[in-house]
Structures are given as C-alpha cells and as structure tokens.
Structure 1
C-alpha cells in the first residue's frame, strides 16, 4: 500500500508542495533551527571545539549519568518486554469481551497523562501509601519499604508509562500467528514449552524487538518520572540537561549533553527504520491469511493458566494508579490516605475556587484548542502531500515528519527556549503553543496518513471524471472518508498539548503556566490533595474526549 503508484489523475489539482510546505516550514523554523543551534553551541560558539565532550568524558559524575541513563533504559525495556508477554498472549487467546477489557486496561493508561500516573504511583508507593499499608497489614513487612525516590520507584513508574509500546505490537504479532502452524507442531509431538520456544517466540520476536526499540528510544530521554520518583543516584541525562540550564546556566555543556542524547536517539531510529520501517507504525504489520492464533484443541497448558494469572496481575498494575486516585480525591482529610476515613468534595471545591488552578486549567484548554486547530490543518496537508509523492522519496519525508515524536522532548524544549527567549515569546501563550504544535502535528500526520491508505483512489478518479474540481472532490468525497482519521489525530493533538509538562517548564512562567506545570511544581515539593483532584479532572477530560471520538467514529462506520 505504502509503495503503490497513484493511478493517472489521482491528486490532480493538489500540488505536492502545497501539502508538504506548511509543516515542512514549521519543522525547519521550530524544530531544525533550535536543534541545530544546540548542536552548534555544543561544538563551540566562536570556533570548533570538543571541550564540552572532553569534559563529559573526563568528569566521573557525567560518565556515571550516561551509564545510569543507559542502564535504567535497558532495565525498563527488559521489564516492559517480560511483563508484556503474558498479557499479549492472553489478549490473543481469550474471547472478544475479555479481550476488549484487557485492551482497555492497556489503552486507558496509554492515553492518561504521564504526570497523573507518576503522581498516583508516588501516592501508592510512599511510606504511608497503599502498598506499604497492605504489606504491613498482611504481616509481610514490619516497617515501610522505600519504594520511591530510588531505583525501584523509577523502574516502576517508567515501566508503567512505556509498557503499552511493547504490549500493542506484541499483541499484533500474536494475532498474526497462524493457528495451523501451532497445530502442526503439536501434531508432531511438540509440548507447550517446545511450541513456545521453537514457534511462538521466534515468530513474535519482530514485534517484541520493534516495541523494545520504541521503549528504549523513549526511556533514554525520560525526564518526568526520574525527576519525581528517583533520587540523586537515578539522575538521567535529561535531568542533567535541565540542571545545567536552570541552575548552572551552562548552555554549552547542556548542548553537548543534548547532542549525545540526540545521537543515541537518531541511531535507534535509523535501526528501527532499517529493520522495521515507519510502515509498521502506520499499517500495524498485518499480512496473516490463515486462522489467527488462539488456544488449540489441547486446551491451556499449566503455563497458559499461569500466564492468565500473570496477565491479571499486570492488568491490575496498569490500572491501579488510575483507579486509586478517584477515591483519594474524595477524602476530606488534608493527609492522603486510602481508603479515606470520610468523603467530601472539598478538594474539588478548592480547585475551582482557587484562582491559580482555574487560570491554569483555562490556559491549558486555550492552548490545546489552538494546537488542535493548527496541527489538524498542518498534519492533514502533510499527509495529503506525502500520499501524492513518488515512492522513492516518501519514506524519507515520512521519517522527517515524525522526528518530533522520536527526538526527546527535553531537546526540543531547550532548543525552543534558546531560540524564542530573545523574541519575547517565552512566557506567552504563543510560545508554548508553537512548541506543542511541533509535538502534536506528527500524530495528526500519522493518523490521517493511515486513513488515506484505506481510501479508494477510484472514488477520487470518478469524482474528477464527472467534472468536479479537486477541492469539491475533497470536500464531498475524500474528507468524509478520512474524517475518522482526522478526528483521531485531533484527539492525539489535544491530549499531547493538554498533558505536556516539559515544554511548559521551559516556555512558561508563573503568570502563564499550564495546569500540568502547576501540578508538577506541587508534586515536586509536597502533594496537596488538590493535585489529586486535578489529576482526576485530567483523567475525566481524557476519557470524555476519547469517548466522543469513539462515538463519532462509530456513527461514521454505521
């Protein structure tokens, strides 16, 4: 599909440059220039120099941070893969209703703000939190265990945030297995362990590797969870970049650290493109022709039943931080406890009666509305332009257009701060809006691009052949067909903007801060129960937006 040649006449009246130029220009000015400016700064302002990199290699603390970053990213990737296997296996082998429930357990955390989930984990794992209370109540421990502000907290929080990136491609790999392959192995006398080791594991390995690479790419640039749930020994490279800018004002060294992080990320992206390609993200890696994998006539083995138990525990792990915040937000005590001794709406009342919270919420909604409007136009035009390109150049342009999704957000945030500070846009609503547009538009591009792949080119040819202009054809024929993809992209754009913390940390100030930034500042110091109420409101907004999108998509297909 991706490499097909367009039939003669398809796209007539819509020049490729019109689709590519707007988002291309945005990427040039607001992505390439800031990132390249950082690279230039890293190699010397007045002349070429490797002094910053030599310092990085010579000072033990910086070497330690680099090794810590790689080590934590590797551990998180391994944990995500191990935890994803039983869940993906069970999702592929249960009935539609159970599969839908498990998919909800995966997707709801995936769509929920990372800040909200991190905040919830801190509450769950702190000394007087739910986990320690349960352990001591069951007599398993005599005193609280330190789960947060150390390595365990970072691993738990990051694995929870990133695990869906492995579950989803692994589940797709299981569904692409043919049942006949497993049945043939069983008929030849292979036992459950042999079938898993010789059949299932090799055939699902591409999905695992693809998901693991995405997790590792994200993990090495993580900022939020290590900053809130880790201690000094878990400082990662993104935190070191922020520290060198905000505390030490050492821009050249921060730029050098950003360069190392950028090189590592781009290397992973090149490997991903080389072995899997962007089409795996857009098309889902389909291609099975036989009956999909499920439980054979032998029934579940002991290992299969153990996988169900493990999947249940992992599902609880995924959903617990989201579920637990709702009853806690209804507690009347100023001290967080679960279950609350008494229930009240006092913290919601405090949220809506305190000007700083209401102002931050209003500003976040304003920015998100602007971002959705701009990114939908840019992303849709870009998808249309790429779909009209020659296959020879298409993959390269697609890769360029999704780079803001891959490059760690801390690099973009620092680069934009460096670029926009002299213009006076830092601290204004437009500065953070521009940053969010760069982050959000690739999501619109991918969803609309996927929708265009399923659009029948013959409909376009028929409309043009009957004398319709390209604009009329688009409005009457193509737009209704790809509307669900555009709506999905708009949802991605909204949530990307509404949940962002890192761009807001650098491009807003105390008068222009967004709701996630205000929450981050509170969590970093002391968790006010009002923050939990704000977290629940963010979850509710996300669920409402997702629900509206599902209803629209259902009406379109019915």
Structure 2
C-alpha cells in the first residue's frame, strides 16, 4: 500500500506554533525551578552544607525514607486494587462498562481535596467507619484510622488508583482472547492463566500506571498533610515547612533537588525503556482480533475477581456519594447518619463573604489559565506534529515536564521568583502560574486528536488554494475539536482543583476555594466544607455531562 502523502512544508510555522509554550515554560517553569535549585548550593558562595545537613540530621534521613516507603506502598496498593477493577471493566458488556466507568472517572475527575475531606469524615474517631464497627460490635472503642500511616495510605491510594486502572484496562483489552482460551483448553487452571498469560501481557499497563503513581506520590503534599501524623512527614511537607516556618530557603532547595532528581530518574528510565507515548497511553498492546473477555464463561476465580472489582468500585465512589448527606446534615458536628437534614451549611456557604470571595478568585484564576493554556497547548500540539522527527521527542518531553516535576517545587520556585516583583496575592498571577500545569494536559489531548487526523485533507485544502489559516478553521479545527474541548475540561479542573500553587501565591484576600477549604480542614473541619465539597462535585458532574453531550454532537455531526 502506498504511503499516505504528507502535508507540504510550511516553513517557519512549526517554530511559531511551538514558541508560545516554550516561552511560557522557560519563564514560569524552567527559570524558577533552576533558581530554586541554585539556592541549594548557597546564595553568595558555593557550598554543600545544605546537602551535608540532609545526611547528618536523622530527621531528614527519616523523612527521605518515609517518602519512598509510603510512595512504594501506595504504588503497590494501587496495582493490587486496580487488577480486579480493570478485569471487571474488560469483561462486561458495553452498556455495563459505561456505568462502571462512571464509578472510576467521577472520583478521578473530582477534586483530590474533596476526596480527602470525605475520607476524613469517614475515618475520624467519630466517623462513619468507626460508627459501623462499634454498632455491629466488631470493636468496643474507636479505631485510629486517620492521622497515621493507615490514613495516608487510604487517602493517597484512593486519589491515585485511577492512574493505574485506566492503562491496565487498556492492557486487558489488548489481550487476544484466543490465548486465554488456548491455555484453558490445554488444562491450565485459572491461577496458571493469570500467572503465565495475563500478568505478562498486562505488565506494560501496570508499569505505566505504577510509574505515574510513584512519581506523583513522592511529591504529594495535600493528602499526607491532612491525613497523616508526624511519623508520615514527606519531603514535600518538609520543603513547605522550611519555607513557611523555618525560612530556610537553602535547605528547602536541597530537599527540592533530591525530590526532583528522584522523579527525573524514574521518568527518564521509563522513557528510555518504553517511550514517552506509553507513559500517558498506558502501554497497551497492538490490539486483539478477539478482545479479552468477549468470549467464554467466567471461571470460579473470575467470579471472585468480579466481586472484588465491584467492592473496590464501591469504595472508590462511596466518599463522593457520602458527601451529600453530610452536607445536608443539620448537626454542627460531623456524624453519620445525620440526625436531621437542612440546608443550613449551604446557606452558610453563600452567606459568608470568605467563601464567595474564594469562588470568584478561583474563577478569576481559571479565566487566565484555561484560555491561555488552550491556545498555546493546541498550537504546540500542531507545531510538534510538524516538527522534524529528531526534534519532536525533545519538544514532547519538555512540554510534559510540568506534569512530572512535583508541583511543590514549582510553587516554591515561583514564590521565590515573584515575591520580589510584588506579583503575589493576585488571582490573575495565580492563573498565569496555573497555565504551566494546564497547558501540558491540553497538549496531550490535542496531540492525541491530531494522530487521528487525515493529513490528506490538509494537503487537499492547501492544494486548492486555501491559506493555512482557512484550512485550520474549516478542515482541521472541526476534526480535532473533541480533543480541544477535552483539553479545556482538563485545564479547568486542574486550575480549579489547585491547592499547592494557591498556598504559595495567594494571600487571605486572594485565596481560592481549594485553599480556603484546605485551611479549614487543616485546623478544624467546619461542616460548611461539606457543602463546598458537594458544590464542587456537582460542578464536576455538570462539566463532564456537558463534555459528553458536545462529544456526541460532534460525533453525529
């Protein structure tokens, strides 16, 4: 078959399209991070004393060990609990699969802060879980599920597990069912099929998901800070403490170097072994003539796995659902089931200027972050698709780096850069900083949409005399619009959910809704936070439904 014709060269266009995102990342990502890392070697004279202190002080060695231990445990738990869910998704009918996917994606899209708040309500001493255990007689006294290792593991696993479920599901769907049937016909038990066929074939999906989870976990800040105790202090929390409490920039910078180097080693190792595409696509196989789970009946082990998968899905969705009765409770205390119901906490939310101002500040930040990231992310995706094969992987790697580097490092670096310029305490400045985090999501979604765009359509339009702008508006834009819309949704949720950048770049008057919620949860949980959480969940659902409706209209149009 003859190769598809390539679009004609457009001169400097790829450079022009890539330039805005390159400039943004150099100014607001690379430069502040490098400034921060330079502080680790001293402000006036070159020194290694900060690194020596990391090795000498037992506390820092303990925190480093805790960070990697907890990150490893969370990664293992995510993989273990994701297998039955991915198996279940891969072996049910299309209609059932859509319903089950909602149970996976709704927590995935819902604010991590909201999910953490829900788990605090469930796991605290007078929370839902302890109430159930005591009422059934399984325990005589409340069990400490929170502010310890168990709380951190539960909270972080719940937040990060979808990153394994999605690529693992793709890996399951790429398995050829004939391989499983052949193994069974040769007398292999369910355990043997799992060990010798399924595990090896789903390994790429597991590795991709586990890599994403581990890179996120070692730089995680919000969940361990709210659900852990002193024994679960992580590197990110120690960085923030050295900035906000001890005012030790050099030591915070040295800790940032350790965290950054560990993250980049993992990222580079995966990229060299598997390629950048598989990190975000899940490492699925080539596809299968007979997709896994389509043919054959379930074995006894299969039914057990299905039951486990349903149980895990219920645990995934339960914190999201339980927010609503808690938000409608009339009690000034966090108790379940509520003794009576009212809308007092919603009324309190809309009557308190603090909450209303925080909503407006969040929307102001998003009004900068979303349009900016949408334009430059889309432009960069088109520019990379037209770059030379040698330059393309370098650009792709640079553009997704903000998704890899722990956000605590970016937050501290931007604080160090912008504070002397008097640019802190402004929601629009926060939105500009958030665009660094949002643009890579737009870039990835639009890049994926472009891979399905037929280049002959572009070539035909250009050969018929259309300018590149006309071709883009009438030919390319309608084809990649679903990817652009998905990128906009990702960008808005990323901006609206941001806590870490808001903690460093805003003040009391310019704080966003997530920062206001975080500050309330860090001291004493005001039931108004449950009302705020319920509203955020409803906003997330509305965005997802709108995105689904637009996608269907584009598909049928």
String of CA shifts for 1:178-203, please: whole Å, max 9, x gaps: 00111111122212111111111111
Unaligned runs of 5+ in 1: none
Quote the residue 1:69 is aligned against: 67
- 1:162 is the counterpart of 2:160: yes
Whether the 8 Å CA contact 2:225–2:233 is kept in 1: the answer is yes
String of CA shifts for 1:143-190, please: whole Å, max 9, x gaps: 110000000000000000000011111111100000011111112221
Quote the residue 1:90 is aligned against: 88
Quote the residue 2:477 is aligned against: 479
Task: Call closer, same or farther: CA 1:287–1:319 in 2, change over 3 Å.
Answer: same
Distance in 2 between the 1:196 and 1:464 partners?
52
Distance in 2 between the 1:13 and 1:555 partners?
35
1:89, CA displacement in angstroms? 0.8
Unaligned runs of 5+ in 2: none
TM-score by structure 2 length?
A: 0.97
Quote the residue 1:134 is aligned against: 132
Quote the residue 1:526 is aligned against: 524
1:383, CA displacement in angstroms? 0.5
1:275, CA displacement in angstroms? 2.0
- 1:184 is the counterpart of 2:182: yes
Quote the residue 1:274 is aligned against: 272
Distance in 2 between the 1:535 and 1:13 partners?
50
Quote the residue 2:464 is aligned against: 466
Whether the 8 Å CA contact 1:6–1:388 is kept in 2: the answer is no
- 1:360 aligned counterpart, secondary structure: helix
- 1:249 aligned counterpart, secondary structure: coil
Distance in 2 between the 1:469 and 1:207 partners?
42
- 1:42 is the counterpart of 2:49: no
1:311, CA displacement in angstroms? 0.8
Quote the residue 2:325 is aligned against: 327
> In the TM superposition, what are the counterparts of 1:378-457 in structure 2 within 5 Å?
378-457=376-455
- 1:79 is the counterpart of 2:49: no
1:281, CA displacement in angstroms? 4.7
Quote the residue 2:364 is aligned against: 366
Whether the 8 Å CA contact 1:14–1:470 is kept in 2: the answer is no
- 1:222 aligned counterpart, secondary structure: coil
TM-score by structure 1 length?
A: 0.97
Quote the residue 2:510 is aligned against: 512
Quote the residue 1:287 is aligned against: 286
Whether the 8 Å CA contact 1:172–1:207 is kept in 2: the answer is yes
Quote the residue 1:213 is aligned against: 211
> In the TM superposition, what are the counterparts of 1:233-252 in structure 2 within 5 Å?
233-252=231-250
Distance in 1 between the 2:311 and 2:532 partners?
28
String of CA shifts for 1:267-302, please: whole Å, max 9, x gaps: 1110121122221255553521411011653x2222
Distance in 2 between the 1:300 and 1:263 partners?
45
Distance in 1 between the 2:4 and 2:254 partners?
44
Whether the 8 Å CA contact 2:175–2:291 is kept in 1: the answer is yes
Query: Please, what is the CA RMSD of the aligned residues?
Result: 1.4
Whether the 8 Å CA contact 2:167–2:281 is kept in 1: the answer is no
Distance in 2 between the 1:482 and 1:19 partners?
16
Distance in 2 between the 1:281 and 1:143 partners?
45
1:317, CA displacement in angstroms? 1.0
Count the aligned residue pairs. 554
Distance in 2 between the 1:474 and 1:47 partners?
53
- Deviates further, 328-337 or 285-294: 285-294
Quote the residue 1:555 is aligned against: 553
- Deviates further, 148-157 or 87-96: 87-96
Distance in 2 between the 1:437 and 1:421 partners?
19
- Deviates further, 285-294 or 139-148: 285-294
* 2:308 aligned residue (304, 307, 310): 310
1:363, CA displacement in angstroms? 1.2
Distance in 2 between the 1:530 and 1:465 partners?
61
1:240, CA displacement in angstroms? 0.1
String of CA shifts for 1:5-45, please: whole Å, max 9, x gaps: 99454453661111111010010000010010111110122
1:48, CA displacement in angstroms? 2.4
Distance in 1 between the 2:281 and 2:219 partners?
26
- Deviates further, 468-477 or 359-368: 359-368
Distance in 1 between the 2:406 and 2:390 partners?
28
Whether the 8 Å CA contact 2:177–2:291 is kept in 1: the answer is yes
1:405, CA displacement in angstroms? 0.6
Whether the 8 Å CA contact 1:174–1:204 is kept in 2: the answer is yes
1:57, CA displacement in angstroms? 0.5
Distance in 1 between the 2:451 and 2:512 partners?
37
Distance in 2 between the 1:203 and 1:286 partners?
8
